Amino acid sequence: MVDERVLTVPGSYKEIRRICEFVAAGAAQAGFDETTIFHLELCCDEASTNIIEHAYGEEGVGNIVIRYRLSDDDFTIVMQDNGQAFDPGAVPPPPAIAKNEASAEELTSQLRIGGLGLHFIRNLMDEVHFTSDRRQGNQLIMIKKLNAS
């Protein structure tokens, strides 16, 4: 069983809800529970935001193509754009702030460094790959196993 769907939307923040709903429908079909569907929505939201802000630099510059593929073993989401190459692997994880006495300076540092979205993607997906070439543009491939514990 292999089912594949594709959605193309303008690179705009207001499209994020549509992207999430598209992926959530596929994830529900795959049989994921509500929490996992939320995780997949969150990853696609964060990836889309990164495409708009880092690959394209702003809204309205190019399209985002979202493709998901449901196989017997996994649910694969591919997010594609034609902006600047942006390698998620090059971004370090954000520093954890493990106390509520964090100073204003620590919070400023947290805001400046960013990378929270990528941190979510790395932690919530089973596999994450990034490829970039002239023909296909940038591709972020996120895989969730169907039977992961």
Binding interface with another protein (CB under 8 A): 13-14, 16-18, 20-21, 35, 38, 41-42, 45-46, 48-49, 52, 94, 96-100, 102-104, 107-108, 110-111, 114, 116-117, 119-120, 123-124
Residues 41, 39, 80, CA angle at the centre, nearest 5°? 45
Where does 30-72 show beta strands of DSSP type E? Answer: 63-70
Shortest Cβ 145–another protein spacing (Å): 19
Q: Which is nearer to another protein, 6 or 102 (CB)?
A: 102
Shortest Cβ 71–another protein spacing (Å): 27
Shortest Cβ 36–another protein spacing (Å): 12
With beta carbons less than 8 A apart as the criterion, state whether 86 and 61 touch: no
Going 127 to 92 to 24 to 59, the CA torsion angle's sign is negative
